[in-house]
Structure 1
Amino acid sequence: MSNLARKHQPHFQTIQKPETEVIKVKRHARITPGEKILALLLIAFIGIMAVQIISAQSKIYEVNKGIEDVKKEIQEQQIFNGNLEMQISDMSKYERIGEKAKDLGLNLDEDNVRVVEKK
């Protein structure tokens, strides 16, 4: 039966349309000008930030170098002060003071000695 139904169907004539020319639009760039501007701004921002980071690191380095120089000077001054304290303790010994007094012509008179107490 199915074959009969196909035989009795009227044949439709297909109408051919005249062929039209299809014009393809070529895109020159896949990236729009706005995207290019945004990309350039991003690159510029990254470059500026890189320069800022490097300059900040160099300033930090300079400050740390200055701190280390000051610490070194402090240590040298502490050593120098220690040496001076040793000289003071050597020069303030009783024997040395007694010798200097004799050289200058001073005599030790025990009756004339007064004891001064620290408050």
Structure 2
Amino acid sequence: MSNLARNFKQQQQQEEQIVQDRKPLKIKKSWLTPGEKIIGVAFAGLVCFGAVHLISNQSQIYQINKDIQKMDDQVKEQQKVNEDLKGQVSELSRYERIYEKAKSMGLMLNENNVKVVQEK
């Protein structure tokens, strides 16, 4: 056998070994199609948008409730002030006090000149 034949035989054996050593290529298939991925991303986006919108609305509701509570407190405080002022009005409009003030200013009570007014 000539050197050329020997080289050719060795080359064929190497090629056979290389072919045998190669494993069949596995084609990696993704478990989601591109359409399903797009739908998934769109759904995730909608869920995130909904969550942000919900949190925003809850924050606004909380702020409005806080404002309502402040207003209620102010109304209660004003009602207390009004009740105190009504008490002062009733105290200052007592007959005895008015009579004393009139007497100190020099006014005299003339019973013939007094007219009684009754509320219906």
Same fold per superposition (TM over 0.5): yes
Q: Which is richer in helix? A: 2
Aligned length: 98
Looking at structure 1, the residues matched to 87 and 100 of structure 2 have their Cα atoms a distance apart, in angstroms, of: 19
Looking at structure 2, the residues matched to 118 and 42 of structure 1 have their Cα atoms a distance apart, in angstroms, of: 74
Name the structure 2 match of 1:17.
Answer: none
Give the TM-score taking structure 2 as reference length.
0.74
Larger CA deviation: 25-34 vs 57-66 = 25-34
RMSD: 1.7
Name the structure 1 match of 2:109.
Answer: 108
Please give the secondary structure, in 2, of the residue aligned with 1:76. Answer: helix
Name the structure 1 match of 2:39.
Answer: 38
Report the identity percentage: 43
Q: Displacement of 1:28 after TM fit? A: 4.7
Q: Displacement of 1:25 after TM fit? A: 5.3
Question: Aligned partner of 2:118: which letter?
Answer: E
Q: Displacement of 1:107 after TM fit? A: 0.6
Give the TM-score taking structure 1 as reference length.
0.75
Please give the per-residue CA displacement for 1:67-94, whole angstroms capped at 9, x wherever unaligned. Answer: 1111101100110011001101110111
Question: Aligned partner of 2:103: which letter?
Answer: K
Alignment of 1:72-87 (within 5 A): 72-87=73-88
